[in-house]
Structure 1
Amino acid sequence: MVNYFNEFANLCFERFGNRVKYWITFNNPWAHAKVWHSYDTQWRAKQKGLIGISLSGDWGEPVDISNQKDIEAAERYVQFYLGWFATPIFHGDYPQVMKDFIGRKSVQQGLGTSRLPTFSPQEKSYIKGTCDFLGIGHFTTRYITQKTNPSGRSSSSYFTDRDLAELVDPRWPDPGSEWLYSVPWGFRRLLNFVKTQYANPMIYVTENGVSEKMLCTELCDDWRIQYYKDYINEMLKDPLTSHMEMVTEIVVPTVCTLSILLSAVFLMFLLRRRN
């Protein structure tokens, strides 16, 4: 199938390359590197275009940012989701946490080798760097915590390999779809993750949006307008570089504000007693 897809892609480059300058091999993968190399060697010099891929990625936030287990579980959530394909493209191999967890689960199941395929040195060098830009499809966020009861030996799937639990905050705006909650700050976290993990690549947001909450006979798009406004505003903010900076951004200003207010109240109390 890789060769067939490569032939199809080359036909597209030949027929449309004089007009199309941005190519996405896949909206969610799975055979990308060969086409990038074909474009790079045969078409780039004369067509002057860029070729990338579009990957889906929701953000995973630790339930307790002071709990190392929750932080690690949230990292796994994102690495198993976006990193599964982005990390080989940018770094040449699967995320280490995927190799560790799937390898360990495979041993527990009595398998001789990991269920996660292994790249040869030649494959690693062939895949690494095959991305002129990264397309991201992002919609929502989950709170993530370490799973209290790890999956048994007989259980083997993408979901059980991660050993984590997904939660939602009941205060998040009600979704039009059960899985899609409006959590704008998670978008910023994900963009920051991509920036730091993959050396600040060019990003195009290829998918983003929300389903309607109610059936309407007339135009009633306030919910969707608010969703886009909130998500775009998060994208426009300055980046954060760590969970600790997230704490600094949110907790420290809040504590400082409360301290100032308490000090003011205490000062007013002292002045009133003096009078």
Structure 2
Amino acid sequence: MVNHFNEFANLCFERFGNRVKYWITFNNPWAHAKVWHTYDTQWRAKQKGLIGISLSGDWGEPVDISNQKDIEAAERYVQFYLGWFATPIFHGDYPQVMKDFVGKKSGQQGLGTSRLPTFSSQEKSYIKGTCDFLGIGHFTTRYITQKNNPSGRGGSSYFTDRDLAELVDPRWPDPGSEWLYSVPWGFRRLLNFVKTQYGNPMIYVTENGVSEKMLCTELCDDWRIQYYKDYINEMLKDPLTSHMEMVTEIVVPTVCTLSILLSAIFLMFLLRRRN
């Protein structure tokens, strides 16, 4: 299939490359690297285009940011989700945590080798760096906590390999779909993750949106409008550097505001006494 897809992509470059300058191999992947090299060697010099990939990624936030197990589980959630394909493209291999956990589960199943394929050294160098820009499809967030999933025969899968549980906050705005909650701050955290993990690549948000909450006979897009406003505003903010900055971001302005308010009240009290 890789060669067939490469032939198809090469035909697209030939026929449309004089007009199309931004190419996405896949909206969610499977045979990306060969096509990147085909464009890079045969078409880039004369067509001056860029070629990337679009990957889906929801954000995972630790249930308890003081619990190391929850922090590691949340990291695992994102690495198994976005990192599964982004890390090979940017660093040449699967995330280490995927190799560790899938390998462990495979061993518990009595398998001689990991269910996660391995790259040869030639494949690693061939895959690494095959991304002029990264497309991100992002919709929602989950709270993540550690959970030891069974790994008996027939019971292992991508989901049980991760050893985690996904939770939602009942205070999050009601979704139009059961899986899609509006959690704008998670978008900001995901973008920051990409920046720090993958060397600040060029990013295009290729997917983002929300389903309607109700059936309408007329235009009723208030829910969707609010979703886009909230997510775009998070994208425009400066990046955070850690989970703890979420606490700082909320607590410090609040304390400063209270301090200013108390100082003003105290000053008014002194002025009234002088009068």
Category of TM-score, reference length = shorter chain: over 0.9
Runs of 5+ unmatched residues, structure 1: none
State how far apart, in whole Å, the 2-side matches of 1:34 and 1:201 are. 20
For the Cα contact (< 8 Å) 2:109–2:151, is it kept in 1? no
For the Cα contact (< 8 Å) 2:149–2:160, is it kept in 1? no
Shift of 1:40: 0.1
Query: How has the CA–CA distance of structure 1 residues 150 and 67 changed in structure 2, closer, same or farther, with 3 Å as cutoff?
Result: farther
Shift of 1:242: 1.3
Query: How has the CA–CA distance of structure 1 residues 270 and 148 changed in structure 2, closer, same or farther, with 3 Å as cutoff?
Result: farther
State how far apart, in whole Å, the 2-side matches of 1:115 and 1:83 are. 17
Query: How has the CA–CA distance of structure 1 residues 274 and 111 changed in structure 2, closer, same or farther, with 3 Å as cutoff?
Result: farther
Query: How has the CA–CA distance of structure 1 residues 244 and 4 changed in structure 2, closer, same or farther, with 3 Å as cutoff?
Result: same
Shift of 1:250: 2.1
Shift of 1:241: 1.3
With normalisation by structure 2, the TM-score equals: 0.93
State how far apart, in whole Å, the 1-side matches of 2:192 and 2:101 are. 25
Matched, 1:104 2:104: yes
Shift of 1:162: 0.4
Q: What SS does structure 2 have at the residue aligned with 1:116?
A: coil
State how far apart, in whole Å, the 2-side matches of 1:260 and 1:149 are. 50
Q: Which moved more, 1:253-262 or 1:198-207?
A: 253-262
Instruction: Provide Cα deviations, 1:118-163, integer angstroms capped at 9, x if missing partner.
Output: 0000000000000000000000000011115655565210000000
Shift of 1:273: 12
Shift of 1:265: 7.5
State how far apart, in whole Å, the 2-side matches of 1:117 and 1:64 are. 33
For the Cα contact (< 8 Å) 1:105–1:153, is it kept in 2? no
Query: How has the CA–CA distance of structure 1 residues 148 and 108 changed in structure 2, closer, same or farther, with 3 Å as cutoff?
Result: closer
For the Cα contact (< 8 Å) 1:151–1:163, is it kept in 2? no
Task: Please provide the CA RMSD for this pair.
Answer: 2.3
Query: How has the CA–CA distance of structure 1 residues 210 and 110 changed in structure 2, closer, same or farther, with 3 Å as cutoff?
Result: same
Runs of 5+ unmatched residues, structure 2: none
Matched, 1:88 2:88: yes
For the Cα contact (< 8 Å) 2:105–2:151, is it kept in 1? no
Shift of 1:264: 7.2
Query: How has the CA–CA distance of structure 1 residues 35 and 246 changed in structure 2, closer, same or farther, with 3 Å as cutoff?
Result: same
Shift of 1:246: 2.4
For the Cα contact (< 8 Å) 2:149–2:164, is it kept in 1? no
Shift of 1:72: 0.5
Q: Which moved more, 1:255-264 or 1:221-230?
A: 255-264
Percent of aligned positions that are identical: 96
Shift of 1:253: 2.7
For the Cα contact (< 8 Å) 1:136–1:206, is it kept in 2? yes
